[in-house]
A = this chain, B = another copy of it.
Amino acid sequence: METTLSSQTKTVVIGPGNPVRIIGERINPTGRKALAAEMAEGNLQRVADDALAQVEAGAALLDVNAGIPMVDEPALLAKVVELVQSLTDAPLCIDSSVVDALASGLGAYRGKALVNSVNGEEDRLEAVLPLVKKHGSAVIGLAMDDDGIPETPEKRLAVARRILSRAQDHGIDPADVVIDPLVLPVGASPMAARTVLETLRLVREELGVNTVCGASNVSFGLPDRPGLNAAFLAMTVANGITAVIANPLEEVSRMSLLAGDVLMGNDEHCMKWITAHRKPVPEV
């Protein structure tokens, strides 16, 4: 199944047989104090820089989030969307926990965006799915619901199945739902990574839809986070993941994903791998 996303001038396909698509995660003030302070003041220079640098480093899509306490998030997110679309042709992933902000970001967006995100919570399904349908977008569906994040892969699959079914009730094509199995820190929960890997496999085999995850959470609290993230990314690729929310400026992760494409037979004649080792990585 293929999830097709677009800006005004560029189309990106997520799906098996394609390279794993990197959704650049940097344009997000959560945990980035300096960026949050600048964005709150309306200074979007760092947003612009991050957009360009991530695309240069291989991001196929860019996540944009403007969630800052005490800030008019809907207005700011629209502004960020407009700015980033003026700078790059990468399709965007409109990211907010606030439904009004999603609505505002989608209103400002030109093309077919990916909405980040819906989950299996009743309120969220009813608030987000109509927006997705209205704007002809695709949506990330998180494998959690009103009871929280299920412990087992089978239960996460069940939540994914319900999100898909509810999306179809709203007239949304299953190809436009991308499931995120939800990555928890392995330092706190030794089975966290295995659960994600098994959920990825089940979603692919049972539902056939595309999958995405934010990998970096897996290494929270442990040393050498880039090393753990890179190994985990390769493992998700082996289990059929089709997109990742990651920082392509983190060299070791970027290389692990490129290696994953080679090893899954999705880098024709290994040209991307060979090219990546010919030219120096851009300084950022």
A194 partner, pick from B187, B256, B264, B268, beta carbons under 8 A:
B264
Contact indicator A193/B223 (Cβ below 8 Å): no
Residue pair B194, A265 in contact (C-beta under 8 Å)? yes
- Out of B218, B224, B260, B277, which one reaches A231, CB within 8 Å? B260
- Asked if A125 is at the interface of the complex by the 8 Å CB criterion, the answer is no
Q: B187–A222 contact, CB under 8 A?
A: no
Partner of A227, one of B190, B228, B259: B259
Whole-angstrom distance from the CB of A196 to the nearest CB of chain B? 9
Beyond A191-B265, A194-B264, A263-B193, whether A277 also contacts B224 by CB under 8 A is yes
In whole angstroms, how far apart are the Cα atoms of A166 and B222 in the complex?
Answer: 46
Chain B neighbourhood of A235, CB < 8 A:
234-235, 237-238, 260, 263
Asked if A232 contacts B218 (CB within 8 A), the reply is: no
Q: Is A12 an interface residue (CB 8 A)?
A: no
Judge whether A255 is part of the interface by a CB distance below 8 angstroms.
yes
Task: Please give, as numbers and ranges, the residues of chain B lying within 8 Å of A237 by CB-CB distance.
Answer: 231, 235
Please tell me if A168 contacts chain B, counting CB pairs below 8 Å: no
- Whole-angstrom CA separation of A47 from B231 in the bound complex: 31
Q: A197 in the interface, Cβ–Cβ < 8 Å? A: yes
A270 lies within 8 A of chain B by Cβ = yes
Instruction: Please name the residue on chain B nearest to A266 by beta carbon.
Output: B190
A237-280 CB contacts (< 8 Å) to partner B: 237-239, 255-256, 259-260, 262-265, 268, 270, 273-274, 277-278
Residues of B near A231 (CB, < 8 A) are 230, 234, 237, 255-256, 259-260, 263
18 A-B contacts, Cβ less than 8 Å apart?
A186-B262, A186-B263, A186-B270, A193-B262, A197-B238, A222-B270, A223-B274, A223-B277, A227-B259, A228-B263, A230-B231, A230-B259, A231-B255, A232-B263, A235-B235, A235-B260, A235-B263, A238-B238
| Chain A positions near chain B (C-beta within 8 angstroms) | 186-187, 190-191, 193-194, 197, 218, 222-224, 227-228, 230-232, 234-235, 237-239, 255-256, 259-260, 262-265, 268, 270, 273-274, 277-278
